[in-house]
Chains A and B, each alone.
Chain A
């Protein structure tokens, strides 16, 4: 399976600021996704990061709030904009590899965000 890293691993931010989270994979992947996991909750898909084109957002998530980039097959960023305390969550990157288990998502370690 792919080795996935996220930066930062955690951060504490002030209300109204923005934070960009990076996801780096050690091999080329077909699909990359961003999830949110609020305290005590399960995973909610934010968007699919499309390489070279605009991300595909799920209902309830918009590009102005969560802009996403994916410049190549191994890297993506998620920005949480104009943050409020309700954005405090764990943000997770997941990928689908190009070889091997090509129908399975593997997850990064997550970024724990606290907004004050």
Chain B
């Protein structure tokens, strides 16, 4: 069964304190792994798509990496405005567009 597990559930950082969020996945052939950001009361905002092990993508203070079993979202020198829930999701190569979401990591960045 395709599955996505994110850790930690919540992460509290001081402004400028870099860290990483983890996404472990089990899927019958990976079509794509996605990262989203979700602010309270809003829909998820697309961040990155990763397709194969070794791939990396960056956007401002965020960098996403992918291995065969995990993805990491690295946050460098975070700011309070980076506070949000970060969702990881996967699509299996045999599942069409069906997307399995993890439970998310709630990030709090304190000034």
Q: How far in angstroms is the closest Cβ of chain B from A24?
A: 14
Interface size of A by Cβ–Cβ distance < 8 Å?
A: 24
Q: A43-B44, A109-B42, A110-B42 are in contact. Are A103 and B91 (CB under 8 A)?
A: yes
Chain A residue at minimal CB-CB distance from B34: A104
CB neighbours (8 Å) of B98 from chain A are: 45, 48, 58
Taken together as a complex, chains A and B put the C-alpha atoms of A48 and B95 apart, in Å, by: 12
Q: Please report the C-alpha to C-alpha distance between residue A1 and residue B34 in the assembled complex, in whole angstroms.
A: 15
Question: Are B91 and A41 within 8 A (Cβ)?
Answer: no
- A115 at the binding interface (Cβ < 8 Å): no
Does B99 touch A at the CB level, under 8 Å?
Answer: yes
| Cβ contact within 8 Å between A42 and B43 | no
Q: Is A33 an interface residue (CB 8 A)?
A: yes
B31 near A104 (CB under 8 angstroms)? no
Expressed in whole angstroms, the minimum distance between the Cβ of A57 and any Cβ of chain B is 12
Distance in angstroms between the alpha carbons of A105 and B32 in the assembled complex: 11
State which of A42, A94, A103, A108 has its C-beta within 8 Å of the C-beta of B49: A103
A105 touches B97 (CB 8 A): yes
Given contacts A31-B97, A41-B103, A42-B101, contact A104 B49 (CB under 8 A): yes
Which chain B residues lie closer than 8 Å to A58 at the CB level? 98
CB of A96 within 8 Å of the partner chain: yes
Seen from chain B, the residues whose Cβ lies within 8 Å of a Cβ on chain A are: 31-32, 34, 36, 41-46, 49, 87, 89, 91, 97-99, 101-104
**29 residue pairs bridging A and B, Cβ less than 8 Å apart:** A41-B103, A42-B103, A42-B104, A43-B101, A48-B97, A58-B98, A92-B43, A92-B44, A96-B97, A101-B49, A103-B31, A103-B32, A103-B49, A103-B91, A103-B97, A104-B32, A104-B34, A104-B46, A104-B49, A105-B46, A105-B99, A107-B36, A107-B45, A107-B46, A108-B43, A109-B42, A110-B42, A110-B43, A112-B41
Knowing that A48-B97, A103-B31, A105-B46 touch, tell me 4 more A-B residue pairs with CB under 8 angstroms. Answer: A42-B104, A104-B34, A107-B44, A110-B43
